[in-house]
Amino acid sequence: MKFTHLLPLVPLLALAAHADQRPNLIIILTDDQGYADVGFNGCEDIPTPHIDRVAHEGARFTNGYVTYPVCSPSRAGMITGRYQGRFGYRRNPTLNPFDENAGLPLEEENIAEILKKVDYHTGYIGKWHLGTHPKFRPNVRGFDEFYGFVAGGHRYFPEDLVFQTIEDVDRRGGWYNTKLLRNERRVETDEYLTDELSHEAVDFIVNNHQKPFFLFLSYNAPHTPMQASQKYLDRFQHIDDRLRRVYAAMVSAIDDGVGRVLDTLDELDLNEETLVFFLSDNGGASNNGSRNTPLRANKGTIYEGGMRVPFAFRWTGTIPSGIDYYHPVSSMDMLGTMVGLTGVEIAKERPLDGVDLIPYLTGKKSGPPHNVLFWQMFDKDHAVIRAGNDKYIDLNQEGKIELYDLSDDKEEAKDLLDQQVEKARDLQRQLDAWTKQLEPARFDPLGSWNPPGPNK
């Protein structure tokens, strides 16, 4: 694939016309997918032609980040457009459905709640993982339609799904075996889960294409358990490593689903009216066969392999096709972009950390969207600042600090701390000032499992 980093100007009148029309908005999110495991980032053993279309026909972000290197805090930052530490969402919550604290705080507005103010029809399909208590679930958090599951993972074959009620669920793993929810009703399914979610996404678009809609399609693949149907496994007999073969099959199922979504937009003549984002919720995991090459480490770490992800988006007719965008961007910028397009008002007491990327892609604005980006892993006491190409890491728990220049060392192999002491001190000051803005963790990672009574 050949990209250009030149950004031709798009007539501002055309952009204004799109904004007036309130474009449809789609986020396609994968789970634990490796940075190197899409064609647009150079993958050779797993074809992803449909995912690659998003980058081919729009923009590929070579420095696209999420706000945390594990699932739930990353999603909290993404869906609010704010650093999740600002509201104490600093670890994965317990899956205890009786814990009224373990979820996205009710005072924080998410994408759907914000877009409802400008009359979007909203849908969430797939993995939620932002609280299992009924008060945190999608239908009471701004989503008109929900199809999926509220926990952090799920088994993929319908014969494994046996639990119907909260009382049935075994806290040690039963959440992966629940029947899917359509809104708050358990439903029977008969397909491989990734295919099931893709079909639901197509149906949502078809049923709502005559009004502005927002769809969050949140695949749990290729998160464990590693399960793929024979249809997809048969495509990868050439991969000898069994774990990698199953992983490849799971990614291929996602790619087919992305193709169905894009084909549906084609058939309904919605390409110029729809902005499509694609990304992973964090870097590839160490246990699922993914690859983050050439980045260092993986999910659960503050190195690049934990937080830099496959990231692209497309808006036909507005974003020039084939852009390679090199400045660092964040998953928080998806909401920032939506707010810029729709003009919806954001509460003054909860300003966004995400920004509108459209002006940077069309040439209206130059320079980086962010002068700095920050991360902190609460339980490990690891904190990071990226300023330009400089990445400063404070591994406080280990009593160690590191400094890298990502312009020629995205592998984070050459620690420059000893050569650039003054720069490190300045970055530490900025990092300390940011961490002082964060709240303590809101919830216990384990919690207690004490049902209050029957039928709750």
Q: What's the confidence (pLDDT) of residue 174?
A: 84
Gyration radius of the chain's alpha carbons: 21
Residues annotated catalytic, as ranges: 71, 129
CATH 3.40.720.10 at 12-362, yes or no: yes
Residue ranges matching CATH 3.40.720.10 in the chain: 12-362
pLDDT tens readout for residues 16-62: 444 456 899 999 999 999 999 999 999 999 999 999 999 999 999 99
Omega before 225 within 30 of 0, i.e. cis: yes
**Could you say which DSSP state residue 215 is in?**
E
Residues of the chain with CATH 3.30.1120.10: 372-435
Q: Give residue 95's pLDDT.
A: 87
CA distance 231 to 185: 30
Share of the chain above pLDDT 90, in %: 88
User: Strand order of the sheet with strand 185-187?
Assistant: 185-187, 180-182, 145-149, 121-127, 213-218, 24-30, 274-280, 311-314, 59-61, 323-325
For residue 273, which phi and psi values (nearest 5 degrees)? -110, 10
Q: Is 323 left (phi over 0), alpha (psi -120 to 50) or beta?
A: beta
- What topology does CATH give the domain 372-435? Arylsulfatase, C-terminal domain (3.30.1120)
* pLDDT for the residue numbered 444: 85
Residue 370, judged by CB atoms within 10 A of its CB (0-12, 13-18, 19+), counts as buried
Number of other residues whose CB lies within 10 A of the CB of residue 367: 8
Q: Determine the pLDDT at residue 226.
A: 98
Mean pLDDT value across residues 367-384? 97
Residue-level pLDDT at 448:
63
Q: Is the pLDDT of residue 452 over 80?
A: no
What is the tens place of the pLDDT at every residue in 334-346? 999 999 999 999 9
Cβ atoms within 10 Å, residue 381: 12
Closest CA to 14 of 286, 216, 315, 287: 315
Of 108, 66, 65, 68, nearest in space to 91 by CA: 68
Q: Residue with structure tokens 């810029």?
A: 340
Question: Over pLDDT 70: what percentage of the chain?
Answer: 92
Q: 251-306 pLDDT, tens per residue?
A: 999 999 999 999 999 999 999 999 999 999 999 999 999 999 999 999 999 999 99
Q: What are phi and psi of 29, to 5 degrees?
A: -115, 130
Compute the mean pLDDT over every residue in the chain, rounded to the nearest whole number: 93
pLDDT at 16: 43
* pLDDT, position 164: 83
The owner of tokens 């994968």 is: 30
Burial class (CB in 10 A: 0-12, 13-18, 19+), 372: middle
Cα 440-445-448 angle, rounded to 5 deg: 120
